[in-house]
Structure 1
Amino acid sequence: MSASLPDVASQTHSSLYLDQVGMAGIPLQLIFDDQPVQARATLTVDLDRQQRGIHMSRLYLGLAEALGQASLTPAGLVAAAEQLLATQGSGSQQLSLTLEWEQLRLVPALLSPHQGWQAYPMRITVAHQAGQTELVEQIRLLYSSTCPCSAALSRDALAEALEADFAHQPLVAREDIRHWIQAHGSLATPHSQRSQATLSWRRAAEQAKAWQLIDHLQRAEQTLATPVQTAVKRTDEQAFALRNGANQMFCEDAARRLTQMMEEDSQWLEAHIQVAHFESLHAHDAIASRWLSRRATPRPWLMTF
């Protein structure tokens, strides 16, 4: 084998500039929040018009070396991005690195002594451009939503049935009402559905002293009040039904709640909230979103799973 193999990628090649060249779907083992996770990475750089190709193997090998050992931190990810960009020499001035995985959390039941694992999709992107580095964090969570309109119509139907059955009784005993509700209380049931919220926020690298993914996830579940459950017994199921009854919401309500939650955080430059209610009444989904910016010159952006 020749001692000096040709480097075709470095050949001078006067052509068009490219915004992104790289690799997608790279398997990678990370440590996040003291937990090993199996991630997928997408890593790209821009390419000068004078250079034919990027040095892809340098990116691949450098990625595993930079992120495969210590726990993932904002400072560590930014340093890794700078090191990876440097491997490309003068041919590239921009870099984007996205990491995606499912974070497992052990979730206790509402009342019973049981628990189960819940998987939360997460995504982190570090982008280095024009000498500036920014981080985008994103979480996705599932929750239950009960339709307020459907609940009101169900109550109306139940009230009419109650009035019809006791129309000829001037006085009704409390016990009779209790028995009637137990027998007819599900005459008309409001519809509820599994729902999904996706929250994304962008920060300047110097603002990101620690990740906000777990904190925002917990706050979002508290804000929505009805995150989906894992292990349940009948007591847990009844408690969950009570929560749904007390937290009826349209997708618009959920989006507004999460917007108010995000506005309480002072660090982000831009944020995006998106909710989807996977309807049980309709064959289509109900969706709502809100984009927020604190930049003097807003830069609209959307990041979804």
Structure 2
Amino acid sequence: MKDVQQQVDERDIYLNEVGIKDLVFPIEIKNKDGKWQTTHAKISLSVDLDPSQRGTHMSRFVDIIQKNNRIDLKHIKNILAVIQEKLGAKKSFIELEFEYFIKKEAPVSKKISYINVGVKYKAWLGDTFEFEMTVNTPATTLCPCSKEISEVSAHNQRANISITVRSNEFIWIEDLVKISEDSASSPVYALLKRPDEKYVTEYAYENPRFVEDVCREVKIQLDENKIATRYKILVESFESIHNHNAFAKIISEAMLK
């Protein structure tokens, strides 16, 4: 059959990216304990397109990901290399968004449950390889100001702690989740019995944190643990007594370069 995509395009315009997006497909992600966890991801795959080429072969993206659905740093590099080879491109790109599940033990009852965190992988291969990971972790923040001015109690709320790191070294999702939870007033859990609820609410009360506090604590831990030099931190508090949210952000100098 006639290969229309391979026709010469005389408009001579380079395209930075062409490809497919929002493909939902099952993938496997390696846990820190070495096991593979099955989840599903929303996937985008693309390449650059030479000015002389009319189009790319979109179906090949789906074929490639179906044969390479185990996802870690080694597999991502391989997927990008295969995409370049199969589509005759100089640059290739991949994005994946998925839910990752972590087993958690309740603090008193020791009941086991799972929390889900949102994860995004972005990677691209050209003259060099770049990998970027974002992990969104739910947590609790308790307002220090509210605690200070109140005779009893203090307002608290769910918060989201987003850490984006760019590195060519593999970083465990679990490590970023722990940093986020340790920086907040308290972690959150899927399953808590009454003794656990008492512990968690009192723990948060004894660890009041503004979004500014949380953001700075995350930075300290990223730096002390040498996780990465290129990172972005975004903490958002879904305020319980205001009709707006509060946020704080840090972008490392290395990330801006």
TM-score when normalising by structure 2:
0.92
Superposition deviation, residue 225 in structure 1: 5.0
Distance 1:264 1:94 in 2: 35
Q: Which digits, 9 at most, give the CA deviation of each residue in 1:60-115, with x for residues without a partner? A: 211211x23xx4321121011111111111xx321110111111122111101322
Distance 2:71 2:228 in 1: 20
Q: Is the 8 A contact 2:132 2:166 kept in 1?
A: yes
Bigger Rg, structure 1 or 2? 1
Corresponding position of 1:228: 188
Corresponding position of 2:9: 13
Q: Is the 8 A contact 1:255 1:275 kept in 2?
A: yes
Q: Is the 8 A contact 1:63 1:84 kept in 2?
A: no
Q: Is the 8 A contact 2:154 2:205 kept in 1?
A: no
Distance 1:216 1:41 in 2: 22
Distance 2:48 2:227 in 1: 28
The answer to whether residue 154 in structure 2 is matched with residue 190 in structure 1 is: yes
Decide which structure has greater strand share. 2
Question: Percent identity between the aligned chains?
Answer: 24
Unaligned runs of 5+ in 1: 159-185, 300-305
Q: Is the 8 A contact 1:74 1:211 kept in 2?
A: no
State the SS of the aligned residue for 2:71.
coil
Distance 1:260 1:73 in 2: 27
Distance 1:244 1:194 in 2: 11
Q: Which digits, 9 at most, give the CA deviation of each residue in 1:4-44, with x for residues without a partner? A: x1111111102322211111111222221211111121111
Q: How does 1:37-186 map to 2 (within 5 A)?
A: 37-65=39-67, 67-68=68-69, 71-89=70-88, 92-129=89-126, 131-154=127-150, 158=151, 186=152
RMSD of aligned residue pairs (Cα, Å): 1.6
Distance 2:193 2:122 in 1: 39
Superposition deviation, residue 269 in structure 1: 4.6
Q: 2:28 aligns with which of 3, 26, 31?
A: 31
TM-score when normalising by structure 1:
0.78
Decide which structure has greater helix share. 1
Distance 1:289 1:148 in 2: 19
Unaligned runs of 5+ in 2: none
